[in-house]
Structure 1
Amino acid sequence: MFDWMIVGAGFAGCVLAERLATERGATVLLIDRRPHIGGNAYDRYNEDGLLIHEYGPHIFHTNSDMIVDYLSRFTAWRPYTHRVLAAVDGKLVPIPINRTTINTLYDLALTTDAEAEAWLAARAEPVERIETSEDVVVSKVGRELYEKFFRGYTRKQWGLDPSELDKSVTARVPTRTDTDDRYFADKHQIMPKHGYTAMFSRMVANPAITLMLQADYRDIRDLVPHRRLIYTGQIDEFFDHRFGPLPYRSLRFEHVTLDEPQHQAVGVVNYPQGEAFTRVTEYKHLTGQQHARTALTYEYPSATGDPYYPVPRPENQERYARYEALARATPDVWFVGRLATYRYYNMDQVVGQALATFRRIDESLGRAEAAAPPRGLNGDARRPHAIA
């Protein structure tokens, strides 16, 4: 008998397993379909001894001291400031767009923020009501830069034109008039010193946590008795796609090793124009590893495969709302994380959501674990439910 079954051993699942075991002394069965912990943040050493991210680059950044303090229990850190270049018109220029980007592309010599702001303002196209991703960009930088940097990349990434996507997609990328070439502006820009997998391993090392990999929830949910459930998988799958599947975009990764110590000037280069792939990552920039060879990953967007990105369109949010209503009516199950709440979150946001969920669980159940009927073996729990 487990106090909790947690489905999914990514950030949300591992944080909640650790908190429940450490703070409440609860027994936890943590399961995952994949043969490893860490979810999409899983990293590993390849056959050449290079540390790579199996599912593309995961750069940790946050403004939250609380989240850094919590994760620091399980890892030391190395500072890393993420910089990205975009291959545009045969040149490599900083992205997000800044003054250097403009000067390099157009052979200009803008020297102040005011000059760059005026240059962009002269090209921006007024949009009466900003609703789509195209509206966001065109209203800031105009049609030409939109075509060079955003339209092709977005069409590859999402399989849709920016005019068909919610404004949130491109609103996440700022436009700068100074020469700040950092991709993120967060207070904390750091990477786990020994990798994400090592951090997750320490997180779930509590003997009250039992780990079961290559296990599908649907296969074991009625076989392993448990009192309560935390679900971090796809919410539509949990409810057997009752209202139809929620659309996702996926990715295909091509990992290669080169016989050279360094291939790129920065960790990630974006390709918004003709190439089939969207970006290339060189991991030694991220990890700080010293090695005679270097590892790269090419990312190819796909309509099929593992679910990575919820597709932000109004009809999809309406369908999710129907699943959310079902979730709220399901007793003793907490839905947490990207897939369970059909939202795009950064890693720190998932950690914050998981910690907040634990606080709500802790408050609702009290410090002493009350007897609860088991789930599994035809057990039927009837206790208050929450959705993160």
Structure 2
Amino acid sequence: MFDYIIIGSGFAGSVIAERIANVLNKKVLIIEKRNHIGGNCYDYKDENHIIVHKYGPHLFHTDYKDVFDYLSNFTEWQVYQHKVLAFIDGKKVPIPFNFNSIREVFPKTLADRLERKLLEKYQYGSKVPILELKKTDDEDLKFWADFIYEKVFKNYTAKQWGLKPEEIDPEVTSRVPVYISRDNRYFTDKYQVIPKDGYTKIFERMLSHPYIKIMLNTDFKEVIKIDFENNKIFFMEHEFKGKLIFTGMIDELFDFKYGYLPYRSLNLKFETLDKEYYQEAPVVNYPNDYDFTRITEFKHIHPVETKKTTILKEYPKSYQPDKDIPYYPVFTKENRELYNKYKEEAEKFENLILVGRLAEYRYYDMDDVVKRALEVFEERVR
């Protein structure tokens, strides 16, 4: 019936499905556990016509022209430069921390001195990981690095990951560096946009093909069986000799035989408020105050004329299997070693392909996972 089966309808699965149908003219089945397509990028319009991101804010930014051009086949874009503030010592200052942030929190004489020393040491416009800054010998810069570490990174990381910054893989901590500039934008990529009609419309257009069938509200284990002894895959009790592209949790695929891979999850609290705007920026981080990490106001992202506004507060939590959504892999040496055991199991199957954040136990931005899916299609699918 199908040449390919894909587990999951987020960007990883949807991009490959679209390529299979349109390039290879082959039939593909998508099996999706949720009642909608789009994975964590799913969005919808609420009763006030505000586009709300159901699983937290998703901002598209990339330097990959091929990725931007590819997605442009499925959406019109609106230019959008994302800005984030952090609530520090009673003030809201630009994040990532930059020269403007320095002047918000320090006296002018100290701010001038810090700026001068930073420009002597680093190139203007560069990005420096906070843990690298902490190693400096300069007394002023060390004070500044310690201030940022204590006020911005330490407690936010503790809330978000349940770990200290030093316990997290540098791949994570380097994602929010210090900017040696006055650029208040959260990202500096060449292409910074949001889809005009929201992300869900991208997926609908991407998957609108007669060769693509979608099963919603279906756990893959209801229709897929894995024969671990003979390294075979069965679909609806029949051996499946096509390719299975898996984008879900790799430990679940192998029945958690080596144990559970740790993830972080989120408790998301949405509120509709009877006011035009709630805050000054799309996102305000709260590294040191309250139990939530940040507040997103969606009207800043998708402007619409309405007298009300919708906000989202994010409360990080440990992932509980079968109860929570696994949002973020927890990058530690031990967890990578556990993942590698599952990866070795997957490599025993000739017709199994892993792609995506959960299947590869990696943190992918949207553009990264689209690029990865396009590469996997060219290298292993077609």
Deviates more, 1:342-351 or 1:46-55: 46-55
Distance 1:241 1:173, change over 3 A: same
Partner of 2:375: 356
CA contact (8 A) 1:268 1:282 kept: yes
Alpha-carbon distance, 1:289 to partner: 2.3
2:327 aligned with 1:308: yes
1:218 match:
221
> CA shift at 1:274, angstroms?
2.2
Q: In structure 2, how many angstroms separate the alpha carbons of the residues matched to 1:224 and 1:213?
A: 19
What amino acid sits opposite 1:36 in the alignment? H
Number of the residue aligned with 1:107: 107
CA distance in 2, matches of 1:169, 1:137: 16
1:224 is displaced (CA, Å) by: 7.2
Q: Distance in 1 between matches of 2:315 and 2:272?
A: 17
Of stretches 177-186 and 159-168 in structure 1, the one that deviates more from structure 2 is 159-168
Partner of 2:349: 330
Aligned residue runs from structure 1 range 97-246, under 5 A: 97-108=97-108, 115-118=114-117, 135-136=131-132, 138-139=134-135, 141-221=144-224, 222-223=235-236, 226=240, 227-246=242-261
CA distance in 2, matches of 1:67, 1:167: 26
> CA deviation digits over 1:98-143, x for unaligned, max 9?
111111111326787x851516999xxxxxxxxxx87345237522
Match of 2:29 in 1: 29
Aligned pair count?
353
The residue aligned with 2:275 is 260
The equivalent residue for 1:379 is none
* Preserved contact between residue 130 and residue 178 of structure 2 (Cα < 8 Å): no
Moved more, 2-11 or 224-233: 224-233
Seen in structure 2, the aligned counterparts of structure 1 residues 332 and 107 have a Cα distance that, compared at 3 Å, is same
Deviant stretches of 4+, over 4 Å: 109-112, 119-122
* Secondary structure, counterpart of 2:22 in structure 1: helix
In the alignment, which of 365, 372, 379 is matched to residue 346 of structure 1? 365
The 1-side partners of 2:358 and 2:287 are apart by 27
Q: TM-score, normalised by structure 1?
A: 0.87
Is contact 1:5-1:230 (8 Å) kept? yes
RMSD: 2.1
- Native 8 Å contact 1:136 1:170 kept in 2: no
Q: Distance in 2 between matches of 1:157 and 1:111?
A: 30
Correspondence list, 1:43-122, <5 A = 43-108=43-108, 115-118=114-117
The answer to whether the Cα contact below 8 Å between 2:246 and 2:354 also exists between their aligned partners in 1 is: yes
**Contact conserved, 1:134 with 1:167, CA < 8 A, in 2?**
no
Alignment partner, residue 369 of structure 1: none
Give TM-score scaled by structure 2 length. Answer: 0.88
In the alignment, the residues of structure 2 paired with residue 337 and residue 51 of structure 1 have an alpha-carbon distance, to the nearest angstrom, of 25
Gaps of 5+ in 2: 122-128, 137-143, 225-234
Q: Give CA deviations for 1:270-322 in whole Å, capped at 9, x if unaligned.
A: 00002100000011111122222111000000102211111110000111111
Contact 2:297 2:309 in 1 (8 A): yes
CA distance 1:176–1:134, shift in 2 (3 Å): closer
Q: Does 2:230 match 1:249?
A: no
Letter of the 1:150 counterpart? F
Q: Secondary structure at the match of 1:118?
A: helix
Q: Return the alpha-carbon distance in structure 2 between the equivalents of residues 136 and 324 of structure 1.
A: 32
Q: Check whether the contact 2:96–2:184 (CA below 8 A) recurs between aligned residues.
A: yes
Identical residues among aligned pairs (%): 45
Deviations 1:30-66 (A, max 9, x none): 1111111110000011233221000000000000110
Write the distance in 2 (CA, Å) between the matches of 1:117 and 1:155.
Answer: 32
Q: Which runs of 5+ in 1 are unaligned?
A: 123-132, 364-388
- Give the secondary structure class of the aligned counterpart of 2:135: helix
Residue 214 of structure 1: how far off its partner (Å): 0.7
SS at match of 2:179: coil
| d(CA) in 2 for partners of 1:250, 1:61 | 23
Question: CA–CA distance in 2 between the matches of 1:185 and 1:309?
Answer: 23
Instruction: Report the Cα distance in structure 1 between the residues aligned to 2:114 and 2:61, rounded to whole angstroms.
Output: 30
Question: Structure 2: how far apart are the matches of 1:331 and 1:274?
Answer: 50
AA in 2 matched with 1:118: K
